[in-house]
Structure 1
């Protein structure tokens, strides 16, 4: 059976929203909408069913951030025990409520109808369990997505610190080496100066000694008239 292709206006009429809403959801939720040979959007029955589910979630109070995570990570569909990808909600109830409490940024994804004005206690409990399971998986995915970025950031920070330490140590080593050569040069200069001083002193003494010997060997000249 050939899949029916709907134009965006037809799909919007079926979902009962404006066309720009579908385009907005497509962009914000990162939906894979097929295009024809001309590059124009077209929508299948599956796409329309997905938009209808998104609309349902929106009406139940879910924000797009939570809906995007539910779509791309198999989160439970609102009001049912099944996940978007077909998994059961109970499969991922493995604890971790403390993690949810620590991630207060995700409080904004709480669907308001779940938290207010429910007359059936059993229904409230089921929905609360579904919501807790969904939140746990959302937080897990967020942590998994953030860990590489955090690891990279920490790696960059550590790398920068190591480079700074290495530069500091190398600079200290260079300064120490420069100081050693400076002292060695001073010692060489002092040694040369001392040798020159002693050589000049010795040469002076030898010159004086030669002059003394020459005086003793020279006869006194007497002039007669």
Structure 2
């Protein structure tokens, strides 16, 4: 039985089974960058100049599209360090939902030393990345169960001392309007109330956990 010779296209497909590839310095022992990109099916590609497929990283069609405008595609251990390019960061130790803490276009960064590992980030599609009116916002976005959601964190509770200081200011205004401005003696209940507020505000009262009740008179 005779075997038909491979056509040129078949030979290329056998040697480079993927269509898209990223070349890098295979001698690098740490982080390195993609040095060249190849579409082996492009009419402009000189097959004789292509590195061996085993020395490159095969790219998906989506990853190839993401290479447009990318200046620094990082490689480590023979694989793309951030294969999705666009990511959202969040506190992985926090209870969810939790706020998005940052957005990264990892293929344009000159350094990724301060960027969390890809496994600690949420991958973002190029379409969502480009949507700066509803999706990629500086505030109001959160993470829950691996998805980006609308999220506004609850306001932090106001410290009791601050509450006391605010109440003391309001009480002083009230007693002046109701009593002092008319030359009337301030009732003892209001004096006791303000003294208690002052102690909490200044920190001399550390036992109270709530503000005293405002006098009814």
- The question of a shared fold, defined as TM-score above 0.5 by the shorter chain, is answered with no
Larger helix fraction of residues? 1
Q: Which has the larger radius of gyration?
A: 1
Q: TM-score range by the shorter chain?
A: under 0.3
Task: Using structure 2 for the length normalisation, give the TM-score.
Answer: 0.24
Larger strand fraction of residues? 2
Task: Using structure 1 for the length normalisation, give the TM-score.
Answer: 0.23
